[in-house]
Amino acid sequence: MKDSTYSTSDVIARLASFPRVRIAHLPTPLEEMPNLARALEAHQLFVKRDDCTGLAFGGNKVRQLEYYFGAAREQDADTILITGAVQSNYARTTAAMAKRLGMQCHIQLEERVPDTDDLYRTSGNVLLDRLLGAVLHFYPHGEDEEGADLALEHIAEDLSRQGAKPYVIHLGPTHPPLGALGYIDAAKELLDQAEKTGCETDEIIVPSGSGATHAGLLFGLRALNSSVRVTGICVRRNAVRQRERVTIVLQGITQLLDIPCPVAEEDVFLYDGTLAPGYGQMNEITREALAVAARTEALVLDPVYSGKTMAGLIALIRKGQFSKDASVLFWHTGGQPALFAYGDRIFED
């Protein structure tokens, strides 16, 4: 899968050829976390603050959406459609960007998390979706990406008949992963910051869900000649299934950029030890992660993505994954609004 018959300038030039709407507050901060390092008895910890990308609480999806909205504008679309979980950060950020650009937004919410309550269904990202004026639709299944995309297409067809010009951001991995391009750009940003500050890291810890952030970052680092290890913390699927997902996204990036893939199969590292009982469901180590990040670095995480990723980092430190002198970077993908939807589950009775 690995081939390096092109230069870094080729990668940057091909990335620049895609239409893009620049809204994110970039570069995001790169900060050391000495208090957390002491609490976890780690050598050195850093955080890449993609919770600071701006736009309605920010998060990693802002980088991704710059490319989708670039394509939508090029197609003269006036309405954006997206599908995701009830507490989807992606959907909330899409609604925000649509409004900033004077477009309408339709969000389809999927039933991915069992045993939800009124707080989950009305607070957090759902509250913001409504505040931003998005039109909400509902899909009764949570593990049917093909069906969810098809339902979204049907909504788009209805909107077209009404005179709208819809653009669909699909969920399934068989569609071109435009959003992953945002994390190739993020890889370059990180390497530039590291060069300027001397902040070298041995490993990056990142959430791995849709695969766009994980695969885009890994692809970008390898394409830009960085060998830093990237470990994806599984937040939706087990490691076997997630490896398949990341591989598909890497292949999609390769096709978009029309260059050989710089990522070797053995470069895809995943950890699913903090996933149970499943997507969007709380566990004890995630509770601990939320508390320790807040009480050491005033770093606010969410229970679904960044919190479980911090839980993964904590678990890997305790397993002895890193050498005693390792510098590890935690990639904060945001998602804080979802915290309020889990307010009754964060602290045990």
Residues with active-site annotation: 88
Note if the bond before 176 is cis, omega within 30 degrees: no
Rounded to whole angstroms, how far apart are CA atoms 328 and 65? 27
Pairing of strands 30-32, 44-49: antiparallel
Rounded to whole angstroms, how far apart are CA atoms 26 and 62? 10
Note if the bond before 27 is cis, omega within 30 degrees: yes
Rounded to whole angstroms, how far apart are CA atoms 111 and 109? 7
Rounded to whole angstroms, how far apart are CA atoms 308 and 305? 5
Residues 77/52, Cβ–Cβ less than 8 Å: no
Q: Using N-to-C axis directions, what is the helix angle for 89-100 and 124-131, rounded to 10°? A: 20
22-39 burial string, b = 16+ CB within 10 Å, else e? ebbebbbebbbbebbbeb
Residues 317/36, Cβ–Cβ less than 8 Å: no
